[in-house]
């Protein structure tokens, strides 16, 4: 349950985007604060408590990934959602490795962002939640064929279907079939969810 002192911080260098997101989230009932750059947000981050961060990935002064890394280094931890263009999936994966909870690809429906923020606000995992999740995900990965695992790795790396097809010497249509099978077997509803699953089992 969100309270009045829970603030959504929007970091984007484009004023129209900041205003649009602020209007959307205010109408959805969130308290909102906008920041024109990653640097300006960092300047006040240490004094912030309850809330979450919505940041663009590509900004002139500092990328969203660098922002998350600096927040981690400063121990100013805050649930973060990154917004990315279709060509930025590898960068979005890097952001999740740096601590982002989710990434949303442009263009997106309003409800997608609203629900992501609600998940960030209500996510209070128990001490064993991550390990339990990882065990369940490893079992799903074991159900994948060797080719499906290759496609999974390529998809999570952000490679387009045509590139995956070329690398694996199969047709783009076959890649689409394997990709659909991977999503079904992994029980992933979206690419960000598939990436989260992959990161949970990384190095295990």
Which bin fits 202, alpha (ψ -120 to 50), beta or left (φ > 0)? Answer: beta
Helix/strand/coil for 8: strand
Report yes or no on 26 lying in a domain: yes
* Domain membership of residue 157 as a residue range: 129-200
What average pLDDT does range 7-15 have in this prediction?
Answer: 92
pLDDT for residue 168: 94
Strands 31-35 and 80-84: unpaired
- Which of 95, 49, 35, 46 has its CA nearest to residue 68? 95
What average pLDDT does range 122-138 have in this prediction?
Answer: 62
What average pLDDT does range 159-180 have in this prediction?
Answer: 93
Report yes or no on 2 lying in a domain: no
Q: pLDDT-based confidence at 11, cuts 50/70/90? A: very high
Same domain, 22 and 86: yes
Same domain, 54 and 93: yes
pLDDT tens figures, 53-98:
999 988 888 888 899 888 888 777 788 999 887 667 778 788 888 8
Report yes or no on 19 lying in a domain: yes
The CATH number assigned to the domain holding 162 equals 1.10.10.10
Q: What is the tally of structural domains in the chain?
A: 2
Whether the per-residue pLDDT at 5 is higher than 80: the answer is: no
Whether the per-residue pLDDT at 14 is higher than 60: the answer is: yes
Q: Give the separation between CA 57 and CA 11, rounded to whole angstroms.
A: 9
- pTM across the whole model: 0.74
């Amino acid at each position: 349950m969100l309270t009045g002192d829970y603030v959504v911080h929007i970091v984007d260098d484009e004023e129209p985007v900041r205003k649009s997101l602020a209007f959307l989230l205010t109408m959805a009932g969130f308290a909102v604060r906008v920041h024109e750059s990653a640097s300006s947000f960092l300047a006040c981050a240490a004094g912030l408590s309850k809330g979450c961060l919505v940041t663009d990935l590509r900004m002139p002064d500092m990328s969203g990934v660098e922002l998350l890394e600096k927040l981690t280094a400063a121990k100013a931890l805050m649930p973060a959602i990154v917004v990315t263009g279709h060509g930025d999936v590898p960068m979005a994966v890097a952001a999740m490795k740096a601590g982002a909870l989710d990434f949303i690809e442009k263009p997106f429906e309003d409800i997608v962002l609203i629900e992501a923020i609600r998940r960030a606000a209500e996510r209070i995992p128990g001490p064993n939640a991550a390990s339990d999740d990882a065990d369940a995900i490893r079992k799903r990965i074991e159900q994948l064929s060797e080719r499906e695992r290759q496609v999974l790795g390529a998809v999570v790396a952000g490679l387009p279907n045509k590139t995956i097809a070329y690398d694996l010497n199969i047709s783009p249509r076959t890649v689409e079939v394997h990709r659909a099978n991977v999503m079904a077997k992994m029980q992933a509803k979206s690419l960000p969810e598939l990436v989260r699953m992959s990161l949970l089992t990384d190095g295990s």
